[in-house]
Amino acid sequence: MKSLAISRTQMWHKPQIYSIGVLLTIALLVAQTITASARGVGDSFADLAEQLSPSVVNITTTQTIAQPNRPQMPQVPKGSPFEDFFKDFLDQNPNGQNQKPRRATALGSGFIISADGYIVTNNHVIDKADTIVIELFSGKELDAKLIGRDIKTDIALLKVEADEPLPFVNFGDSDISRVGDWVLAIGNPLGQGFSVSAGIISANNRSLRSGPYDDFIQTDAAINRGNSGGPLFNMDGDVIGVNTAIISPTGGSIGLGFAMASNVVGPVTQQLKEFGETRRGWLGVSIQDIDAEMADALGLEKVAGALVSGVPDGPAKDAGILAGDVILNFDGKDVADTRGLIKQVGNSEVGKSVRVIIQREGKTQTIKVVLARREDAEKAAVVPAVAKPEAVTQEESLGMEMTSLTDDIRNQLGLPADAKGVAIVSVNEESDAFEKGLRKGDIIAEVGQTAVESPKDVANAIQAAKDAGRKSVLFLIRRGGNPRFVALSLAG
């Protein structure tokens, strides 16, 4: 009986143990499936790498570098032991002629974006090159010609002629890429040939302060010298970035790689292909970001938008936009900050009529602006207006000693003859003004979005802000001709 009882117990528990094992196995398979689904590549990147590698190219450039002229024999006393020393040193270059120019070689990466041979790379990969040679994944080499380049985004477009259609890849939408997404980098690191590395997106919308259109994807995928110009792929096989830079104390990858986002590169590439140059939209405003104090001084509901600090001759001025306006929406899209607005305007078509929503004196209004071309505007000179001299008055407020402008004061402060407004002659080092960077020689052009012509105007505008219950007041400051807004606290 006992034996039978044991037998029954065993018979009862064996199926139970087996069921638990099955459940554990199923759970493990489900977990692996979920992980694979999250990666989008199963247990390996091999299929994706095999699919994409033929669209990536190695780039070799050569450049002729002129050698410096032969140095002249220095003047030394005749018979000095240094005379023979310098003579022997200079005689290493026979006949006293310049050395022959030498050829320098550089390596980089790129990727094919059309079957007829258009190739994208970094401008710094091919800059100043005399010859550009493309090596395909098959090993075949082709000469490439430069179609166009854009220094601001460090992008160049090349073209090769092939006997047959080439494998190519498409640009994806970098704006929908998320931190943590898997990415694949393919290129020619350190001249080692086609190489694949994988990682994740570490951050989006990074700025390296290399230009106005900075929009880098940061990744920990291994990127080294030679990867420049190569593609950064998402798991759908679309290019979401062009590998451009690394941050490294050693010169090698430490997991801080940066790729220019495809939503910047795509429009640039299309313009280079169509025109051989970029044709960016231009609004014609100087702008700056808004902080919490500025938002309070401007009466904004939230810290967002771009504050107009200057309006030179151009589309915005023609349309009626003024310094002190806050641009809240451009062509149907809300403006988060200056970088966002610069990107939106730059990607817009030249000659397009757009609606710009601004806030002025606490009220919003819509202004229609016809965009010009940025490249044309950058070549034009801006001629400032000339101000008439004013009587001297002085006043102190918010830790600043101020004076009206005369020719003598402009000379004393080293200001241009056309400077207008109110000059700062000293700033208390314990004041908020000093902490915000205001200094002697700065010009106050506006206070509370009202033009000022005397220290009394400044004092009146400050008092008006206090009477309105503001915690801070907005100053438009000019230094060296460059405008910027500064919000100063009214406390105390």
Rg, C-alpha atoms of the chain: 32
Q: Is 124 labeled as catalytic in the residue annotation?
A: yes
Backbone angles phi, psi at 360, to 5 degrees: -135, 120
Strands 482-489 and 472-479: antiparallel
Q: Tell me the C-alpha distance between 192 and 46, whole Å.
A: 19
Q: Look-up: residue for tokens 């943590």?
A: 180
Q: Which residues contact 152 (CB under 8 A, 6 or more apart)?
A: 211, 212, 213, 278
User: Catalytic residue among 55, 177, 228, 404, which?
Assistant: 228
Residue 29, number of CB atoms within 10 A of its CB: 10
Q: Which residues pair with 58 in a beta bridge?
A: 109, 135
Q: Report yes or no: 475 and 485 within 8 Å, Cβ to Cβ.
A: yes
389 vs 358: CA distance, rounded Å: 34
- CA 108, CA 388: separation in Å to the nearest integer? 58
Our answer to whether residue 154 is catalytic in this structure is yes
Return phi, psi of residue 461, to 5°. Answer: -70, -40
Q: Which letter does DSSP use for residue 55 in this model? A: G
Q: Are 207 and 214 in contact (CB under 8 A)?
A: yes
- One-letter amino acid identity for 12? W
Q: Are 254 and 248 in contact (CB under 8 A)?
A: yes
Q: How far is CA 337 from CA 217, 225, 268, 325, 374, in A?
A: 18, 33, 22, 14, 19
Q: Out of 55, 109, 124, 262, pick the active-site residue.
A: 124
List phi, psi (to 5°) of 307.
-85, 125
Residue pair 406/392 in contact (Cβ under 8 Å)? The answer is yes
Catalytic residue, from 55, 109, 150, 154: name it: 154
Per the listing, tokens 């402009």 go with 410
| Distance in angstroms (rounded) separating the CA atoms of residues 304 and 334 | 9
Q: Is the dihedral angle over the CA atoms 92, 93, 94, 100 positive or is it negative?
A: positive
| Catalytic-residue membership of 228 | yes
Q: 264, 232, 228, 265: which is closest to 246 by C-alpha?
A: 228
Q: Which residues are catalytic?
A: 124, 154, 228
